[in-house]
Copies of this chain bind each other. A is one copy, B any other.
Amino acid sequence: MKLSKKNLDQRLDHVYDAIVVGGGAGGLSAAIYLQRYRLSCLVIEKGRGRSFWMQDLRNYLGLPPTTPGRTLLQQGQEHFLSLAGDYLPGFVEEVHDEGDTFAVKVKVGKKDSIYSTLRAKYLVAASGVIDHLPQLDNMQNVFDYAGYNLHVCMICDGYEMGDKKCGLFVNTEAAINTAFVLNWFTPYITVFTQGLCEVSPEMRQKLQDHGYPLVETPIRRFLGENHEMNGVELTDGATIELETGLIAMGSHYHNEYLKGLDLSWKGGNLTTDAMCRTSHSRIFALGDLKEGLNQVSIAVADGTLAATAIWRDIRRVAPPRLWEEHLKQASH
C-alpha cells in the first residue's frame, strides 16, 4: 500500500525481503517481479528522477513513441500497488548493514519531515542519475526545453536530432568529443562551452576541420516557445539559431546512501555480475547506477534479473512446502 508519515509506523517492525531505493523504471520492474515471487517489497522514491523528465519515451517496446516517462512510472506504480507492494515517497539518507538485515534511514515529507528506519534482507539500489543542466539565472527557462527538443541522451534521442541544427552544451573539453559521435545523426553542430572549460588548440583545430563552430560566451537564455527551443541568446546579446540541442555536462549519481557500504565501484558506477548483484551479496544495483547503457529497457531487464536472483537466494534456503493433507492420508 501507499505509505506516508501517517501510516508508516505500521511497518516499523516489519522486515521486508527487499527495499528498493528508487521508483524509476528499474526499481519498479524489480518491485513488480519481487511481489510476483511472493516476496515482500518496499519501494522508496524521492520523486522527479530522470525518467520523470522524459517527455517522450520513443524507444521502449510496447508503448506508443509519444508516451511520457511519467506515464510509464504511473502505470508501474499502479501495477506494483495492485500486487500489494509498499510504496513510500521519501529520501533515503543512509543504509546500515546489520549483518542479516539492512537498516534504511529515510526522510519522509519535505515539510515537517520525519525520519524513520525501515529494514530489509536485501537492498536494491535503483536510484539512478540526474543530468547536469546549464546553470542559467532563470532555471525555468532551461526546464521549459530540457526533455523536449533539448535532449540529454544521444542514444535515446539522436534520431530526433537527425540533420538538424544542433547545439552541443558541454562543461569539459572531454565532452566536446561527443560532437564526433553526434555527427552520425547531424553534422550541423555548434559547440557551447559557456567558458566553463579551457579548449586546447588541438580541439579547436579538430572542430574547425569538421566545420563545427565553437562558442565560449556564456548563454543568457534559450529561445523558443511551447517547449520548442529554437536558439540561444548569449550574454553579449548575440543570438544563434538552433533546431535542437544535446546537453553533455555529466550526471549526478544518486548513490550517497551507498557510500558507507563495502562495495566495488568503477568510476561512478557500481560493479555488478550478470544478475546485477554488486560485490556485496545482498545488494543489487540496477540501470544507470551500474555500468552499461542508461536506457529504460536495460533498467527494466535489470529489475527482472535482480528480483530473480533475490528470489532464488531466499527460495533455496526455505523449507519445502508439502501437501500436508496427502502426507496425513499416507501415514494412516
Contacts and interface: CB of A to CB of B under 8 A. Distances in A.
Given A38-B184, A212-B326, A321-B187, A61 B300 contact: yes
A253 interface: no
Q: Which of A29, A183, A320, A322 has the most chain B CB within a 10 Å cutoff?
A: A320
A296 to B, nearest CB: 8
Q: Which of A25, A29, A36 has the most chain B CB within a 10 Å cutoff?
A: A36
Interface stretch (A72-80, A167-175, A234-242): A72-80
Given A37-B159, A38-B162, A189-B323, A61 B25 contact: yes
A11 interface: no
Interface stretch (A91-99, A131-139, A220-228, A303-311): A303-311
A188 to B, nearest CB: 6
Interface string A127-164: 00000000000000000000000000001001100100
Interface residues of A, number: 69
A107 interface: no
A123 interface: no
Interface string A311-332: 1000100101111111100100
Contact of A318 (B36, B162, B184): B184
A298 interface: yes
A64 B58 contact: no
A210 B61 contact: no
16 contacts: A29-B297, A36-B59, A37-B159, A38-B184, A63-B63, A180-B320, A181-B315, A184-B311, A184-B321, A210-B320, A211-B325, A211-B327, A293-B305, A295-B304, A297-B301, A300-B300
